[in-house]
Chains A and B, each alone.
Chain A
């Protein structure tokens, strides 16, 4: 299993771009990188998934360098409602859940 390392917490201000980096040095060839967002009293919500280079959707962008040993989740112009825990997961999503292991996550706090 590829272990992930993320910052425990980050603070930002409304309107700023936030970049959360995740390290996954032992990523395997078939592994994808997936980010989830979790608000208090809710289950995690899928944000974005990628394999290499850059992926963008309506919520975020995911940057993955060529060696795939890290990835960066970019949230443009955050608002107070983006305050949540963000989890980086690495694994084969077509396999079993045991290959998707939740790390400690990053608590993002957006300040007014």
Chain B
């Protein structure tokens, strides 16, 4: 299965600033996804990162707040814009390859907004 490198692993940011999280996959994958996980909670899908087109966002998430890039089949970025303390969370990227054997996840980015 694909191996995902995600960085930064953690960051502490000032409110009002933006942070870009990078996700690199070691092989070409058809679909990449971004999730958010609040401390002690389950994962919530933010958006599907589509190669060559705009990301598809889930209800409650908008492009202006979480712009996503997918320039090729191995790389994606998620930006958390104009951050507030409510954005403090773990952000994870995930990739789906071929076949039915599930998704691979990065180790996550722990974001704290102060």
Whether A43 and B108, one on each chain, are in contact in the complex, defined by CB atoms closer than 8 angstroms, is yes
A103: nearest chain-B partner, CB-CB: B42
Q: Is B31 an interface residue (CB 8 A)?
A: yes
- Decide: A46 near B103, CB < 8 A? Known: A96-B31, A103-B42: yes
Number of residue pairs spanning A and B whose beta carbons lie under 8 angstroms apart = 59
Of B48, B96, B107, the residue contacting A42 (CB under 8 A) is: B107
Q: Which positions 93-114 of chain B face chain A at CB distance < 8 Å? A: 94, 96, 100-108, 110
- Please report the C-alpha to C-alpha distance between residue A73 and residue B100 in the assembled complex, in whole angstroms: 18
Q: State how many residues of chain B have any CB contact under 8 Å with chain A.
A: 26
- Decide: A105 near B42, CB < 8 A? Known: A34-B102, A41-B110: yes
Whether A41 and B48, one on each chain, are in contact in the complex, defined by CB atoms closer than 8 angstroms, is no
Of B31, B102, B107, the residue contacting A46 (CB under 8 A) is: B102
Of A41, A43, A45, A93, the residue contacting B96 (CB under 8 A) is: A93
Q: Is A83 an interface residue (CB 8 A)?
A: no
Whether B31 and A43, one on each chain, are in contact in the complex, defined by CB atoms closer than 8 angstroms, is no
B49: nearest chain-A partner, CB-CB: A97
Q: Is B1 an interface residue (CB 8 A)?
A: yes
Whether A98 and B45, one on each chain, are in contact in the complex, defined by CB atoms closer than 8 angstroms, is yes
- Please report the C-alpha to C-alpha distance between residue A41 and residue B91 in the assembled complex, in whole angstroms: 11
- Interface positions of B (Cβ within 8 A of A): 1, 4, 6, 31, 33, 35, 42-45, 48, 56, 58, 92, 94, 96, 100-108, 110
- Interface positions of A (Cβ within 8 A of B): 32, 34, 36, 41-46, 49, 87, 93-94, 96-98, 100-105
